[in-house]
Amino acid sequence: MYTSDVACEVRKKAEMAKRAARALRNLSRDTKDAALRAMAQALEDNENAILESNSIDMANGEKKGLGDALLDRLKLNHARIMAMAEGLRELANLEDPVGTVSELTRRPNGLLVGKMRVPLGVIGFVFESRPNVTADTSGLCIKSGNAIIMRGGSEAYNSNRILTKLLADAAVSCGIPQGAIQLVESTDREGVRALATSDDLIDLMIVRGGEQLVRAVSEYATVPLIKHGKGLCHVYLDKDADVAKAVEIAFNAKVDRPGVCNAMETLLVHKDIAQACLPQLVARLCESGVELVGCPRTVDLLKDHCDIKLANDSDWDAEYLALKLSIKIVDSYEEAVDHICSYGSGHTEAIVTENHSLAMQFLDDVDASVVLVNASTRFNDGFQLGLGAELGISTQKLHARGPMGLKELTCEKFVVLGQGQVREA
């Protein structure tokens, strides 16, 4: 079944990871935190070697003609290495999620029943371009008691390799079992498949990457999968919105960082507030270089204020991830919610309104990983929401929904404390 060299590499590493996971499960917080600090130190101590490896990847990337955005994501420098180290030290300061037992409930027959939080076991992690992800995810997995096998993109091969070696060696020197942090060296697609079909060894696959990659993996994966999918996020400016807040929130949601999944892609505006909000908002958006498309009413209202084109049907379905925005004027709250239910990707949805009942209604009506009232969609982020760490944003409903922190890398098993109880027929 596993004939290729790549698949053999993956299977061997997964077997090592499974052995490591058994030992990791019972490590004390002290051991794990010491390892995290040693991992941070190892990155700082080896900055030159890291930068050297990274420069090979950068040179290869330039030769291959990677775009500026991609090259920027690939690049490491002093500040980024320090940020990785700092992130690991912050993880050491977080509570250990493992080992707590929720309230033990007494059953009529005297049994005490509770749930104990435990690591998942072995996590397969597929990601693209940014090599600093190796430090973040290794740290999150060690802290939560899981073994990790990473598979990065080919463009970051040399950077990922040295980072993983430094992190793994530092961890092992502090008592973390060998095999707890590993990288699949081959960047062949076959490696992803081998990971995603090793359900006898791997407990969870996390795939961060383009829609096509995620789709492909979900089709052949037998390991349970958490997807980091598309973010088609809306902001709805209700007729009872405070105009100043509405403009600030819409502007921030679009412009703060347009290339990420929690940026707004479509703005919905109640007809009664369009005149008060839109001209001043689009003036600021245009200043920031945002390209605008709109429904006929929007175009009609704004055509003298700015350069705006009529939206196509495909615009309402588009995750631009760029300085582009589609705007639609709606007749009612219900029309806005219908639009969100039809086109939203279940990622992040916001309403701006001073009407309390309607705000509460919106929380019930809209099904997304994060639903906000009077706040920017940009707050869908593990650090911003107070998780203390983030492994990505899950766009599915099972197990983890929204930003994933340490807790989402664990599960709960039932523990039952008895005094000789047997089940009566």
Strand, helix or coil for residue 46: coil
Q: For residue 371, state whether it binds a copy of itself (rule: CB under 8 A).
A: yes
Judged by CB, which is closer to a copy of itself: 219, or 304?
A: 219
Of 421, 424, 425, nearest in space to 106 by CA: 421
CB 334, min distance to a copy of itself, A: 12
Least distance (Å) between residue 401 CB and a copy of itself: 5
Question: Which residues 207-226 are close enough to bind a copy of itself by CB under 8 A?
Answer: 218-220, 222, 224-226
Give the C-alpha separation, 77 to 199, whole Å: 37
C-alpha torsion angle, residues 27, 28, 29, 34 (rounded to 10): -80
Among 365, 389, 392, 406, binds a copy of itself (CB under 8 A): 365
Applying CB under 8 A, among 213, 276, 341, 358 the residue interacting with a copy of itself is 341
- Residue 165's CB is within 10 A of a number of other CB atoms, namely 16
Among 7, 233, 292, 370, binds a copy of itself (CB under 8 A): 370
Report 269-288 residues binding a copy of itself (CB under 8 A).
none
Q: Could you tell me the two tokens for 424?
A: 């009566």
Task: CB nearer to a copy of itself: give 99 or 175.
Answer: 99
Task: Kindly tell me which residue out of 378, 391, 395, 406 binds a copy of itself, with binding defined by CB under 8 A.
Answer: 378
Among 83, 113, 172, 299, binds a copy of itself (CB under 8 A): 113
Q: Which two tokens stand for residue 288?
A: 């920031």
Instruction: State yes or no: residue 384 binds a copy of itself (CB under 8 A).
Output: yes
Kindly state the number of chain residues that form the binding site for a copy of itself, as judged by CB under 8 A. 73
Determine which residue in the list 8, 59, 69, 398 makes contact with a copy of itself, applying CB under 8 A.
Answer: 398
**DSSP-assigned states of every residue in 227-277:** EE----EEEEE-TT--HHHHHHHHHHHHHS-TTSTTSEEEEEEEHHHHHHH
In one-letter notation, the amino acid at residue 47 is E
Can you tell me the distance from the alpha carbon of 330 to that of 243, in angstroms, rounded to the nearest whole number?
17
Which parts of 65-210 fold into alpha helices (H)? 68-74, 78-93, 133-143, 157-173, 189-196
Site residues for a copy of itself, 130-149, by CB under 8 A, read none
- Member of 118, 237, 269, 330 binding a copy of itself (CB under 8 A): 118
Q: Which of 129, 134, 376, 395 binds a copy of itself (CB under 8 A)?
A: 376
Q: Of residues 243-272, which lie at the interface with a copy of itself (CB under 8 A)?
A: 244-245, 248-249, 251-253, 256
Distance of alpha carbon 94 from alpha carbon 273, whole angstroms: 45
> In terms of CB distance, is 289 or 296 closer to a copy of itself?
289
Residue from 372, 389, 391, 404 in contact with a copy of itself (CB under 8 A): 372
Number of Cβ within a 10 Å radius of residue 411: 16
Question: In the bound complex, what is the minimum distance in angstroms from residue 352's beta carbon to a copy of itself?
Answer: 8
Q: Is 60 in the site for a copy of itself (CB under 8 A)?
A: no
Amino acid letter, residue 326: S
The only residue of 9, 33, 136, 203 in contact with a copy of itself, by rule CB under 8 A? 203
Q: How far is the CB of 173 from a copy of itself (least distance, A)?
A: 24
Write down the least CB distance from residue 298 to a copy of itself, Å. Answer: 23
d(CA 183, CA 417): 40
Site for a copy of itself in 76-105 (CB under 8 A): 99, 105
| Structure token digits, residue 350 | 């916001």
Distance between CA atoms of residues 306 and 327, nearest Å: 13
Contact 228, 214 (CB under 8 A): yes
Is residue 199 part of the contact set for a copy of itself (CB under 8 A)? Answer: yes
How far is the CA of 101 from the CAs of 90, 98, 112, 113, 414, in angstroms?
25, 9, 11, 10, 9
Confirm or reject binding of residue 120 to a copy of itself (CB under 8 A).
yes
Pick one of 11, 25, 80, 305: the residue that binds a copy of itself (CB under 8 A): 25
CA–CA separation, 294 and 308 (whole Å):
7
**Residue 364 C-beta: closest distance to a copy of itself, Å:** 5
